Structure 1
Amino acid sequence: MASQTPSPTADTTSGVDLSFVASILDWLEANIVHIIGAFAVLVIGLLIAGMLSRWAERTLAKHPRFDPTISGFLAKMVKYALWAVVLVTVLSQFGVETASILAALGGMALAVGLALQGTLSNVASGVMILVQRPFVVGEAISVDRFTATVQRIGLFTTELKQFDGLFVMVPNSELWNQPIINLHRHPTRRIELIVGIGYDDSMKQAREVLLALAEQDERALNDPEPQAFVASLDDSSVGVGLRVWCATSDYMQLQWDLTEAAKAKFDEVGLSIPFPQREVTMVPA
C-alpha cells in the first residue's frame, strides 16, 4: 500500500490549517500600525470620556438650578456621545466606511424615537421639571385633580403623596403640560374668610370683631395688615370678609382657628349667622 505524504499546508498532529494561521499573521503584520493606533485611540478615548463625564457631573451639581438626577443624566449622555465618537474613530483606523454606519445608526435612532414617543416625551418633561424647578421634593402642589406633596422627581414620572396619605405616580408630561400651583414656594400666604350675618345685624360691628380676632392671634402678620370688608349681599345674609397674611406653614391651622373663633365670638356678641331662608307671602284668592 502506498504511503500518504502530509500536505505542506496542514498540520497532521493538531488539525490546524497552517495557511489560515499564516494569513492571520500576514494580516497582523500588514495592519500592526493601524491596530496599535486603534488600541491607543480606544484607551485614550475611553479615559477622556470618563474624565469629561465626571467633570460635567461635578460642574452641573454645583449649579443651583440642576438637580442631582439631571446632572447624572446629562453626564451619562456626554459619556455615551464620546463613546460613539471613539467607536467611529477606531473603525476608521481599519478603513471601515463610517458614513454608512452613521446613517444606519441615525435610522435606528429615528425608529426608536418614533416607537418611544410617549416615553421620550416624559423624559423631556422630566428634564424641564428638574431644570426649571416649578416644584421640588417636599413642596405641596396642586395640579389637575391632585393636591399633594412631592415625594420624588424622576426622569419618567413624579411621585406624589396626597394629604389623605394615598400614593400617586404621575407621568411627567402630564405635569409639565398643565398649570402648576405651588402651595409652598412663597414664605407667606393670604387667608380670606367670609362669614355671613343677618341683614338686621351691624356690619361695622362684624368687621370690628373679625379685625380684633386677627390682631389677637400672633400668627397673623401686621404687614400687610389685616383687612375686614363687606364682601357680598346674598339672598339670606350679608357676607363680611377678613383677609389675613400669615406664614405658609401656619396657613391651614390659622384658617381653621379663625373660622372657629369667628363663630364663637359672633354668638357671644349677638351677631347671627343665618341659614338660607325664604319669605313666603300668602295672597288671598
Structure 2
Amino acid sequence: MAPTEQAQAAPDSLDEVVGSIHNTVLVAWGDFVDHLPFLGLGLLILLLTWGTAWLGQRAAALLVGQRARASLRRLIERLLALGIWGLGLLLVAVVIFPGLSPTKALGGLGLLSVAVGFAFRDTFENFFAGMLMLWKYPFESGDFIQSGEIFGRVEEINIRMTLLRKVSGELLLVPNSKLFQNPTEVLTDRPMRRITVMTGVAYGEDLAQALGVIETAVTACETIIQGQPVQIFARGFGDSSMDIEVTWWCDSTPLGVRRSRSEIVVAVKAALDAAGIEIPFPYRTLTFAEPLPLIGESTAATSASDDSR
C-alpha cells in the first residue's frame, strides 16, 4: 500500500473506533435511563426493608418481654432482622433485574452460599457458635468466665465474637467457637462461691484447740456468706506442720474473693497468735561429713598455738 493510502486509512480506522465507543456509551446511557425506574423502585424497597426490620426488632422485643434472657432477646431480634433483610434484598434483585426470577435468584444464592461457606468457614463457624451461645448458654453480660487462659468479665456477646474485659482493664475479643468448643467456667453463675485456703500448726500444738480457734475467727469475718457452712478440717501430716483446710462461702466476683481471702488470712493469723499457737515454718537441718569446731574451741586452739610460739 502506498504511503498516501496508509495515511488515509489511519484516520478512517480512528473514526470507526471513536464512533463505536460513542455508540456503545450512548446505548449504555440509554439502557441506564430506561432502567432508572427499576433502580428507584429497588431503592424504595431497600428503605422499606430497613423500616420493616427496625419495626420488627421493636415488636420482637415487646413480644418476648423483659423476663426473657437478654441474650435470647438479642438473638430473636437479629434473626428477625436477617430474615427481613434477606427477603428485601431478594425482592430488590428481582426488581432491578426483570429477567431474574425468584427461583433463579434462590438457586444462585445457594451456590454462592456454598462457595462463601468454604471460603469463610471460620467466620460461619463463629456465627453459628454465637447463635447457639445466645440461645442457651448460661452466661450473660456482666458475668465473669474462664476458659483455659481466657479470663474476664463478659461485656457483650455478638454473633461472631464475645467481648471480655480483663481484670487488668484490657478488652479481649474471643471468637465464639473457642468458647463453644472448650470447657468454660461461669464464675458468677451464682452470687456466692466456696473458697479454700490452707494453713497449719506445729506438731507440738493441740490440734483440736487450733481447729476451734480457726473456726471462731473465720465465723466472725464480715465477708463470709452468713447461713452457709464454715468448714475447718485437719488435712494431713505436712513436712513441718499439721495441715488444716479452711473453707467458706463468699461473694463470687473476683474482687469479692480476693477481699474475703485477705480478711480470712489476717483473722486466722491473729487468732492463732493470740491463742499462743505456733504457725510453723520449714526447719532445715544441715549435716557434715566431719564435725565442725565450735567458735569457742577454734579461738582457744588459736590462742594456744600463739602461746607455744
Q: TM-score, normalised by structure 1?
A: 0.72
SS at match of 2:270: helix
Contact in 2 for aligned 1:57/1:74 (Cα 8 Å): no
Tell me which residue corresponds to 1:194.
Answer: 198
- 1:71 and 2:76 equivalent? yes
Q: Aligned match of 1:83 in 77, 80, 88?
A: 88
Contact in 2 for aligned 1:65/1:131 (Cα 8 Å): no
Tell me which residue corresponds to 2:119.
Answer: 115
Contact in 1 for aligned 2:218/2:268 (Cα 8 Å): no
Larger Rg: 2
Instruction: Measure how far apart 1:112 and its partner are.
Output: 0.8
Counting only pairs closer than 5 Å after superposition, residues 270-281 of structure 1 correspond to structure 2 as: 270-279=276-285
Residues in 2 aligned to 1:237 and 1:48: alpha-carbon distance in whole angstroms? 72
Q: What code does the residue aligned with 2:260 have? A: L
Q: Aligned match of 2:234 in 226, 230, 233?
A: 230
Q: Identity of paired residues, percent? A: 25
Q: Aligned match of 2:208 in 194, 204, 210?
A: 204
Instruction: Measure how far apart 1:60 and its partner are.
Output: 4.3
CA-based RMSD of the aligned residues comes to: 3.6
Residues in 2 aligned to 1:183 and 1:252: alpha-carbon distance in whole angstroms? 14
Contact in 2 for aligned 1:230/1:239 (Cα 8 Å): yes
- Deviation track 1:77-129 (CA, whole Å, cap 9, x = no partner) reads 2203433664688799x786554443222111110111111111111122222
TM-aligned CA distance change 1:220 to 1:102, over 3 Å = closer
SS at match of 1:168: strand
Residues in 1 aligned to 2:105 and 2:162: alpha-carbon distance in whole angstroms? 37
Residues in 2 aligned to 1:221 and 1:129: alpha-carbon distance in whole angstroms? 31
Contact in 2 for aligned 1:66/1:131 (Cα 8 Å): no
Counting only pairs closer than 5 Å after superposition, residues 1-285 of structure 1 correspond to structure 2 as: 55-56=59-60, 58-60=62-64, 62=66, 64-67=68-71, 68-83=73-88, 86=91, 98-248=102-252, 250-279=256-285
Q: What code does the residue aligned with 1:258 have? A: I
The alignment covers a number of residue pairs equal to: 247
Q: TM-score, normalised by structure 2?
A: 0.67
Contact in 1 for aligned 2:153/2:164 (Cα 8 Å): yes
TM-aligned CA distance change 1:52 to 1:160, over 3 Å = closer
Contact in 2 for aligned 1:137/1:153 (Cα 8 Å): yes
Any stretches of 5+ residues in structure 2 without a counterpart? 1-37, 292-309
Any stretches of 5+ residues in structure 1 without a counterpart? 1-34
